[in-house]
Structure 1
Amino acid sequence: MSQELKERRRGDYPFFLDYRTRWIDNDQYSHINNSVYYHLFDSVVNTYLIQHASFSPMASNQIGLVVSSYSHFFSPLSFPAVLDLGLRVTKLGSSSVSYEIAVFEEGVAVPSVVGGYTHVFVDRHTRKSAIITPDTRSGLEKLQGPSSKL
């Protein structure tokens, strides 16, 4: 699977969010610390949900809980790089969605990192599984398949 992920290209992702790295993103080895990538994953997913899937994490009766995550690192990145975060949906269930995120350095065709996670949508108060709302599902469906450049 790692080789397959390494072969991803920008056209595989329908949505992009840019990120300007910060000095604090670097670790003692002068590259972006592994934990920062999970912050980036969370940022691109939640930006998309809010802007394109009618999902308001603070106002909705539903929340998405991360139940699994992964990350494959292919080449290091460091400050002051500008990154392009590509997002797509790899699996959409009735109450869950799996995302794949690729991290590209601006102007570079191949990803430095590919990772992702699975959200299970639950009722905010009971934490019981909840069917993804129609508006959110419609937004998530746009992330399936090759790029449509949202």
Structure 2
Amino acid sequence: MVGQGRGEQIPFRRSEFDVLRTITTRWEDEDVYGHINNVVYYSFFDTAVNGFLIEATGSDIRRLDAVGLVAETQCEFLRELGFPGDVHAGLAITRIGTSSIVYRIGLFQGDSDEPAAIGRFVHVYVDATTRAVTPIPEAIRAAVGPLVVRQASAIGESSAS
């Protein structure tokens, strides 16, 4: 998908994502139709994003004064994922605001450079106690900064703050 930013391209292929996280599939992820059930893709998104944030910040993000709550998710299913086999989740940031981060996530399996799914995952930061919207913690902003690929909303990215 063409967009503005690094290389004039919003990541789509595995090779275009700077960060890839490995997620091991489980027996229970596969449904009666013989593929990973669609709801599990959303779990992969959550696992990839939060695993990255924990590793990149070196802290337990659940204990910060502000926490990221999922405000929106979206998935474009392109092909099946299956068990057994690791899933590789590519992470990029398509928008970072004052209190929200929009992630682009590609799910890959095997050696394919083509994604099985492309997702959108939005974190809105709130005070851990009051749940009032608050600015993104500096530790999180520093961790995701290198993943920002663009700030424009050329392909339907919302302008949530």
Normalising by the smaller structure, the TM-score range is: 0.7 to 0.9
The residue that corresponds to 1:129 in the other structure is 133
The CA distance in 2 between the partners of 1:66 and 1:31, in whole Å, is 26
Aligned to 1:48: 52
TM-score (structure 2 length as normaliser): 0.82
> Does the CA contact (< 8 Å) of 1:101 and 1:115 recur in 2?
yes
Distance 2:88 2:13 in 1: 12
Query: Which one has more relative contact order, counting CA pairs under 8 Å at least 6 apart?
Result: 1
* 3-state secondary structure, aligned to 1:142: helix
> What SS does the corresponding residue of 2:118 show, helix, strand or coil?
strand
Aligned length: 143
AA matched with 1:20 = T
Unpaired runs of at least 5, structure 2? 4-10, 151-161
Check whether the contact 1:14–1:87 (CA below 8 A) recurs between aligned residues.
yes
Structure 2 counterpart of 1:92, which letter?
I
Residue 54 of structure 1: how far off its partner (Å): 4.8
Partner residue, 2:153: none
Q: Report the counterpart of residue 10 of structure 1 in structure 2.
A: 14
Partner of 1:112: 116
Q: Helix, strand or coil for the counterpart of 2:61? A: coil
Question: CA RMSD for the aligned pairs?
Answer: 2.0
1:59 to 60, 63, 66: 63
Q: Normalising to structure 1: TM-score of the pair?
A: 0.87
Map 1:21-36 to 2 at 5 A. 21-36=25-40
Specify which of 103, 106, 111 is matched with residue 102 of structure 1. 106
Question: 5+ unaligned residues in a row in structure 1: which ranges?
Answer: none
Work out the CA distance in 2 between the residues paired with 1:82 and 1:131. Answer: 35
Whole-angstrom distance in 2 between the partners of 1:113 and 1:65: 22
Alignment correspondent of 1:139: 143
Structure-1 residue corresponding to 2:159: none
